[in-house]
Amino acid sequence: MLTIRTLVLGASFLLAGAGLSSCLTAPDYPDTPSIEFENIRSERVVADIGNYDTVTVTVSFRDGDGDLGLDNSETNAPYNLNDASGQPNKFYNNYFFQPQILRDGTFVDFNFTGSFRYDSRFPRIPPIDRNEPKRGNLSFGLQIFQGTFPAGSQVRFKVSIADRALNVSNEVITDPITIQ
């Protein structure tokens, strides 16, 4: 009798769980990614190769069709390094960082000489075999070597991401950090 009651109770929980999960629908996010600033961390490293700050920026993301990330092997159009005219192609990368430095009480874009930028790639976000809404956090680490910015500078970053269809997210601004 106790065994039958246990089986009936277990089956009831199983059916209730199955019924509840069938009522849940996938979130309805837009196909263009959306991000929110989560945090920024900075740590000073003293090393034989020189002193530098390691900075880690974390953003949360949402994307309706989940087409986020690029593999390093993806270098053909539209993800090629240079566009048809030989100019750098923005969409070679999918994680965009624009540093800003505090000058006279206002943050202004800090542009490096030459083609150097902090833009980078983040890898494909699983599952990669199907398009479905995705959300999570992306953390990006970078090294800022001594002399890149004047010591004691207040620096923040404008951050955005792009999906595989070249939809660019909104732009968020990090909290400022002090460069050692």
CB 102 within 8 Å of CB 154: yes
Pairing of strands 134-145, 106-109: unpaired
DSSP conformational letter for 168: B
What local confidence, expressed as pLDDT, does residue 115 receive? 67
Mean pLDDT on 70-90 = 92
CB 170 within 8 Å of CB 119: no
94-153 pLDDT, tens digit per residue, is: 999 999 999 999 999 998 876 678 899 999 998 887 789 999 999 999 998 888 888 899
Model confidence at 36, pLDDT cuts 50, 70, 90, reads: very high
Supply the mean pLDDT for the chain: 86
13-27 pLDDT, tens digit per residue, is: 444 454 444 456 777
Tokens encoding 117: 């930028």
CA dihedral (111, 180, 59, 102) positive or negative: negative
